[in-house]
Structure 1
C-alpha cells in the first residue's frame, strides 16, 4: 500500500527533475461559479504531462542491475514520454509499445528522448499485451503506467505541492484513465486533510472505471473511443479500483463535445494548450457535473500533448458552434457577375469571406448552374440570421453546413 511517507520519498527523488508546476486562479470560472477555482498546470511539466513524476520515481528506485537490462512499457503517449526521459537520465534503454493511433506529437516526443517505439494495437490494452510479451521474451523490467506503487507515489507528489500552496483546499478534480494519478493524489491529500473531497472525471467513451466504482467491482469497457486518448483505458485494474473506492468521493463523466469545449476555452481564455485528458476536469466544471459553489477547488490539467491536427479540428468546430464561422452551400447561375453579386451581399452584411470553392461540373447540377461552398467570418447568431434572410430576399437557394 502506498503511504504518505512513500509520496514524500518520491518528492525527494524528483526534486531536481520534476517542476513544481504553476497553480493559478482561473478568474473566469471562479466568477461564473462564485468559487475559487484553480488550475494545476501539469501541461507545463517537463515532457508535457504529470507522467514524468511516476516514471522517474519508478526508475530511480530500480537496482542498477535492472536498469542495465533496460525497461519496457505500454502507453498511450504521456507515460511513454516520461519514461523515455527518465530512462535517458539514468542511461537505461527503453522500449515503448504504443497504440497505432497515438498522435504524432507524442510518438515524436518519445523518440526524441532516445527510446525505441513500437506502434501496435487499437488501444492501450492491446499495446499493453504486446509489451508484456516483450517483457517475458527479453527479461526486462516492465514499468506499468499506473498499477505500480512507485508510479502512484510519484503522481501523489502533486497533492503535496497543492496543499503546501493552498492548505484549505476543499476539492481536487482529477482525470481518470487507469487511475494512477487520482490514486496518488487521493492518498496524499486524504492523509493530510481527511475532509478534502476528491472527484474523478472519466470520458464517456471510456467509462469503465466509473461503472466499476458504482458497482464496487471491475467492469471492463466493451470498447473505448474518445478524443481524450490519454485516458482511453478499456480494462479496469482491480488494485487501482480498490484504492479509488477507498479514497475517491465521486466520479463523473464528460462527453467528447464537452471536452472539446474545454480545450477551446482553455486555449482562448487562458492561453493554455491542453490535450483531451488534460481538459476533462475543466469540462466537468464548465458543464455543471460537480457541485462547487462557494468552494475552493483545483482542477488538474494533466497534460498538453495534443496533436495539432486534432487541435485544428476542435478550433474549427468551436468557431462554427459559437456562430463565429458560417459554412454555406449556395446555388447560383453560372454566368459572369454571379459571384460578384453574391459577394456584394456578404459585403453589405459585414461578413468576411475566408474560403470559397466553385463547382460547375457536378452531375447533381443542372446545366447553367454552379454551386459554391463558402466559409464566412461572422459576429454571432443574430448576424448569421441576417445573412440568411438577405440571401433568401435575393432568391438564393442555400444550405448551412
Structure 2
C-alpha cells in the first residue's frame, strides 16, 4: 500500500466553501441519508464502523448530489437547450431524474451493450436515451459530438468542480452527524466522490485544530486506474468486476490532481472481498448495496490491520445491483462459509447405493438440495458412478462432520470448491 504525499497547494479547484454552498443548494431535493454505527461490523473488523446509507437516495446512489449541484448552476439558456451525459449507471439516473424534475431536457448516451433494465430505468426518469457503440469510450465520444451539434451542456460524471463539490456534501453530513470519525474510506472510480470528501475532511481537520481526518481511497484490484495514476504503476485495468460502478479505466484530470493532493492512501480489494462485503451488509444491516457500494467495507475486511482501532466512516454509495447477480453473490458466500456445499461421492452402480448414502446425510441432519449422477463422462470403472450432492449445513464444522462420517463408511468424497 502506498501512502500519498500530503500537498500544501491551496489552489485546488474545489474548496470547503464550494461544498458548503453545494449542500445549501441541493439540501431540499436530496435525501439527507442517515449515518448509523454497526456494532456487529465493528466487532468483526476491530474498528468502530459507521455507515452512511447513500443507497437510500431516490435513485439509490450518491450521484444525484453532483448532478443536481451542476444543474442548479446552469443559466437560463443552458437549461432551455438541455443537458447530455455518457453513462450506463448511476450518473445517468441521477442526472435524468433531477433534470426532469427541474424541467430540463436530458439526453443520455449509453453503449449498445447496456442491460435493458438500465435503459428502462433511465428512460423512466424522463431521459432521451441514445444507444451508440460497444464501449463506454465510444458512447462518451458520441455524447461530446452531440454536445457540439445540439448546443447541449455536457455533465461529466466526475471531472467537473461542480460535480465534485456536490459529491463532497456526503462528508459534510457524515462529519456533522459523527464528529468522532477519524478515517473516511471512500470508493474511487473516476475520483469525484473521494476528491469532494477529502476536501471537506481536510478543511474540517484544520478548523477543529485536531488530528487530521484520514481519507483512504478504495479501488477494485481489476481496475486500479487511480492507483496507477498516483503511484506511477502500470497494472492492467480490465476484467468482470462486481464493482462495476468504479470500473473506470481513465480517472479524471481534475480529480487526479485532487486525489494526489488530499488523500492519504489508496488500497485495492479483491473480488472475493467485494462479494463478502455485499453479503455481510445484506445479512447484518439488512441493506442492499452494489459492488462499488460495498468497497469501503471490503477494504476493512481485506486490510484489517490498516483500520483496527480507528473510528471509520464508510459510504454505501449505491444500491443498484441486478437481482440475479445479488442472488449469485449470496449463494457463493453461503458456499464459502460451508453452509452450502457440493460433494462428489464415488459409488458402486448397484441397487441401494443411493439409499445408503442418504442414510448418512439423514443421520448427520444435513439437508439434500439436489442430486446429479454421472455414469458416462467419468474415468471411473464401468461399475462405478460419480454422485454430486448439493446440500445445506449449519456451518463449516457441520460440513466437516458430514465428510468425516462419509469417510468412516468407506466412501471416497471430495468437496467441489469455488474459485
- Would you say same fold, with TM above 0.5? yes
C-alpha change, 1:100 and 1:206, in structure 2 (3 Å) is farther
C-alpha change, 1:253 and 1:267, in structure 2 (3 Å) is same
- Equivalent of 1:59, from 71, 74, 82? 71
1:272-283 correspondence runs (5 A) = 272-283=287-298
Between 106-115 and 166-175, report the one with greater CA deviation: 106-115
1:39-78 correspondence runs (5 A) = 39-78=51-90
Structure 2 equivalent of residue 229 of structure 1? 244
Unmatched tracts of structure 1, length 5 or more: none
Q: CA deviation at 1:264?
A: 0.9
- Equivalent of 1:91, from 103, 109, 113? 103
Structure 1 equivalent of residue 128 of structure 2? 116
Q: CA deviation at 1:314?
A: 1.0
Once residues 228 and 92 of structure 2 are traced to their aligned partners in structure 1, the CA distance between those partners, rounded to angstroms, is 27
Q: In the alignment, is the contact (CA less than 8 A) between 1:220 and 1:235 conserved in 2? A: no
Q: CA deviation at 1:116?
A: 2.9
Structure 1 equivalent of residue 8 of structure 2? none
Once residues 334 and 60 of structure 1 are traced to their aligned partners in structure 2, the CA distance between those partners, rounded to angstroms, is 73
Between 262-271 and 131-140, report the one with greater CA deviation: 131-140
Q: Which secondary structure does the structure 2 equivalent of 1:47 belong to?
A: coil
Once residues 227 and 79 of structure 1 are traced to their aligned partners in structure 2, the CA distance between those partners, rounded to angstroms, is 18
Q: Normalising to structure 2: TM-score of the pair?
A: 0.88
Structure 1 equivalent of residue 230 of structure 2? 213
- Equivalent of 2:344, from 329, 342, 348? 329
- Equivalent of 2:140, from 105, 128, 139? 128
Q: In the alignment, is the contact (CA less than 8 A) between 2:222 and 2:237 conserved in 1? A: no
C-alpha change, 1:258 and 1:89, in structure 2 (3 Å) is same
Q: In the alignment, is the contact (CA less than 8 A) between 1:220 and 1:236 conserved in 2? A: no
Q: CA deviation at 1:398?
A: 3.9
Q: Normalising to structure 1: TM-score of the pair?
A: 0.91
Once residues 148 and 389 of structure 2 are traced to their aligned partners in structure 1, the CA distance between those partners, rounded to angstroms, is 57
| Equivalent pairs, count | 399
2:329 corresponds to 1:314: yes
Q: CA deviation at 1:157?
A: 0.9
2:31 corresponds to 1:19: yes
Q: CA deviation at 1:181?
A: 0.5
Q: In the alignment, is the contact (CA less than 8 A) between 1:33 and 1:293 conserved in 2? A: yes
Q: CA deviation at 1:372?
A: 3.4
Structure 1 equivalent of residue 359 of structure 2? 344
Q: In the alignment, is the contact (CA less than 8 A) between 2:111 and 2:133 conserved in 1? A: yes
Which string of whole-angstrom CA distances, capped at 9 and with x for unpartnered residues, describes residues 228-255 of structure 1?
Answer: 0000000122211111111111111101
Structure 2 equivalent of residue 296 of structure 1? 311
Q: CA deviation at 1:103?
A: 5.3
Q: In the alignment, is the contact (CA less than 8 A) between 2:224 and 2:237 conserved in 1? A: no
- Equivalent of 2:195, from 178, 183, 197? 183
Between 327-336 and 248-257, report the one with greater CA deviation: 327-336
Structure 2 equivalent of residue 201 of structure 1? 218
C-alpha change, 1:100 and 1:225, in structure 2 (3 Å) is farther
Q: In the alignment, is the contact (CA less than 8 A) between 1:264 and 1:314 conserved in 2? A: yes
C-alpha change, 1:130 and 1:396, in structure 2 (3 Å) is farther
Q: In the alignment, is the contact (CA less than 8 A) between 2:223 and 2:237 conserved in 1? A: no
Q: CA deviation at 1:270?
A: 1.2
- Equivalent of 1:270, from 285, 299, 303? 285
